Amino acid sequence: MNPADSADDSIRPWGRYEILQESSTFKVKSIWVKPHARLSYQKHKYRAEHWFITQGEGEVTINGVTHPVAAGSFIEFGAGDLHRMSNTGDQELIFIEVQTGSYFGEDDIERVEDDFGR
């Protein structure tokens, strides 16, 4: 099955994501970031996130510090940490996101900077 055909896909201006698994204590997503796009600079009140890069190259910014990432990179940050993923390459950047905490709703996103005016 093509991931784009899944009913769990959510389209965003920077790419898309698919929920792979979820429970009351975690949520797992696969996230595709378009070339030269980036997610909003954001934080969460109720969850930590753990990212494993599976394809592409980019930069992750956590609390104002930016680091390069590529396939095989692992990033983690806690609730309240500001974070952003940027795709600096010419192909999709794909990563697996594991959320842990007490609440995983999309309304637990506080954006402090966003390229798309959200």
Instruction: Give me the pLDDT at residue 9, please.
Output: 60
* Half-sphere exposure (Cβ direction) of 84: Cα atoms closer than 13 Å: 22
Mean pLDDT for each consecutive 10-residue tract of the chain (118 residues)?
A: 51 96 97 98 98 98 98 98 98 98 95 93
pTM of the model: 0.88
Q: Give the helix, strand, coil percentages of the chain, each rounded to 5.
A: 5, 55, 40
Instruction: Give me the pLDDT at residue 8, please.
Output: 46
Going along the chain from its start, the domains and CATH numbers come out as: 26-102 (2.60.120.10)
Residue type, 20: L
First-last CA distance in the chain: 31
Q: Are 83 and 62 in contact (CB under 8 A)?
A: yes
Instruction: Give me the pLDDT at residue 19, please.
Output: 95
Instruction: Give me the pLDDT at residue 2, please.
Output: 45
